[in-house]
Structure 1
Amino acid sequence: MDRYLAPSTAGHHEAAGANMADSPTRSLSSEQAEPSLADISADIRALAAAMVTKEDMRALSDTLHAAIRTEVTSLRAELTAQATRMQVAESNVQAMGDRLEATNTAIHRQGNILLQLRRQTEDLDNRGRRSNIRVRGLPEPEGNEDVEATLQMLFRDILGAEAPESMVFDRAHRAARARATDNTPRDIICCLHAYKLKEKIMNKARSRPTWRFRDAEVALYQDLSPLTLEARRALRPVTTLLRDRGIPYKWGFPFMLLARHHDEWFPLRWPEEVPRFLQRLNLPPTEVTDWILGGALTHLRSAHIC
């Protein structure tokens, strides 16, 4: 077959020598021998043997199928394992979500309990100070001071003819803090033995903001818990609005701010009640410091304390 497929050089030589004179003689060695039938048959059998057979295709197909089945089986196993892990992860996430919700509920409940305990502690502290009077503005001498004698003279000046013959103090002292650098006198805190006498002094003292005593302006206040004082300072913008609008208000115990509007008293007990309190009294929105958690009250918190 190669002989038939290979290019023949005889025609080329003949074409090239067509215009040439005929050679008188032709050499036998220059002529190619014609292929025999046996050679052609052998070439055909060699080509047929080299061709791909059905058995070869079937074997190749079986090999490919086996490889694909192996890969698919491996992928199925991996997908099954991934699905199992996903189910476990989803179960864990759901369990964590349930635990988180339960934890948030418990924290919210405990927060309410702590706030209630704080309110009770504050109320107990104020009840323990019911017989106390805080005197501000009394000059503070450099040496020893007879605080009780000074207070007796001050209270007699305030009560006038209503002053009793004797006043018994359970305790009386200056505020337990260092002296100010500007020599501002420290407050005097006293506890009168008779609660009724203390109320009489305070009712008379409320008739004016200050009293003249020993060339000084003296003011009397109810001694209050630091928590209550902090809350009152935080609500100062609200009380300023109430005074500007001529709305009467008063402080209650346990701690609350009571304002009267249209012959009805509206209470304010917790920081989150401030927006509704202002709305009910037709007052403009006012920024108030959260006296319990700290920070400005810019919106109503979701937790409602009863």
Structure 2
Amino acid sequence: MTTRKTADQKQELKSLSKKDREKKEKQEKRLSNFFNAPVDKSTLESSSISTPNNMPLSKHTGKLKETEPQESPEESTITQAYLKQCLDQQLDQIKLEMQGNFANLKQEIISIGQKAKINEQKIENLEFLIQKQNECIEKQQMKINELEERSTNIEDRGRKNYLRIRNIPESISQGNLANFLAEFFEALKINIDDKRDFLERSHRLNKPRTLPEDLPRDIIIACHSYSFREKILKAARQTEREQGKFKDIKVFPDLSFQTRQARKQFIPATLRLREKDLKYRWGFPTKLIVTKGGTIHTFDSLDKIINWLENLV
């Protein structure tokens, strides 16, 4: 039977290719080496379990140890070469991918740099334009201020013959207003030739929202001449009216709203001038003219006159 089996195996080997025959011969050689391996008798004697064909047992599981087939040096060399080839291919692929990624990243960085440069140039242009616009706005603002000053000056000069009279009772009607003013001017010791025609016109103003209810509205009078207006102002400042129905009446020049607001800023200075008994008058558009010891001093801002008063001996 053994002879028959060997003959069959030889016939089968002939039908295989050379490569397959070599592979099959190696497998049979491994099996032959495995079953014909020498057995350690001391190991078999110390073991209480008998094994077929004297195969060794595993110390931990008690099962038969399976002896792994050992690769030949040629197969080991082939396996290492194949693994090296696979690793080299993967490494080359990774290198290509990384090179592609780096190339894309480099291109993106270059593109971002170009865009940043363009944006920087645009920002510089915008800053230049903004600077020019600011300069233009400053010039326009200066021109606007100059025009407003001229307009205010023209309005004030148009009111040069006007006076504003305050604290005339509301009980004095428009029809009786001329007679009341004539009596008031006589109390100021102003000679009036024609009581019926000493003023161009007179009327009450509309009541401002901020004016208290118990205070009467101001009256505007238009004099025929600037000299008569100045005469009334001078008499109103110099004449004492501590008693009578005219004691609370006050006379002011009629000025534009802008000029009145500007002169309000000088109130701290005018109060100190009165305390020091210094004479002053207003100049146009908004100047304070102070006379001291025969010398005239002109101030166009509150800071200047305050500094002058502080250094005054």
Normalising by structure 2, we get a TM-score of: 0.68
Q: 2:147 matched to 1:128?
A: no
> CA offsets per residue over residues 270-290 of structure 1, 9 Å max, x none?
xxxx4455335437xxxxxxx
User: 1:192 aligned to 223, 244, 253, which one?
Assistant: 223
> RMSD of the TM alignment (CA)?
3.8
Could you tell me how far 1:222 is from its partner in structure 2? Answer: 1.1
How far 1:70 sits from its partner (Å)? 0.8
CA distance in 1, matches of 2:38, 2:162: 137
Unaligned runs of 5+ in 2: 1-25, 57-68
Q: Is the 8 A contact 2:290 2:298 kept in 1?
A: yes
Which runs of 5 or more residues in structure 1 are unaligned?
A: 21-26, 33-38, 284-306
CA contact (8 A) 1:137 1:217 kept: yes
- Counterpart residue identity of residue 197, structure 1: F
Structure showing the higher helix proportion among its residues: 2
**Take 1:116 and 1:89, find their aligned partners in 2: how far apart are those partners?**
40
Counterpart for residue 154 of structure 1 = 184
Q: Distance in 2 between matches of 1:135 and 1:246?
A: 25
Distance 1:225 1:89 in 2: 52
For 1:35, the equivalent position in structure 2 comes to: none
Correspondence for 1:80 among 102, 110, 115? 110
1:101-152 alpha-carbon deviations (Å, 9 max, x no partner): 1222222222222222221222112111110112222233265532222222
Is the CA contact (8 Å cut-off) linking 2:153 and 2:285 kept in structure 1? yes
Q: Which residue of 2 aligns with 1:113?
A: 143
Shift of 1:266: 4.0
Give the aligned residue type for 1:220.
V
1:268 aligns with 2:300: yes
Deviation at residue 58 of structure 1 after TM alignment: 4.8
1:139/1:216 contact within 8 Å kept = no
> Which residue, out of 198, 201, 212, partners 1:171?
201
Q: What is the letter of the counterpart of residue 235 of structure 2?
A: K
Tell me if 1:14 matches 2:19: no
Asked if the contact 1:175/1:189 (under 8 Å) is kept, the reply is yes
Show the 5 A alignment for 1:257-296.
257-259=288-290, 263=295, 265-269=297-301, 274-282=302-310
Equivalent positions of 1:44-123 (< 5 A) are 44-52=73-81, 56=86, 58-123=88-153
Q: Distance in 2 between matches of 1:64 and 1:70?
A: 10
**Percent sequence identity over aligned pairs:** 20
Q: Is the 8 A contact 1:159 1:204 kept in 2?
A: yes
With the length of structure 1 as denominator, give the TM-score of the two structures: 0.70
Q: Helix, strand or coil for the counterpart of 1:217?
A: coil
Give the paired residue count. 262
In 1, the alpha carbon distance for the partners of 2:288 and 2:81 equals 102
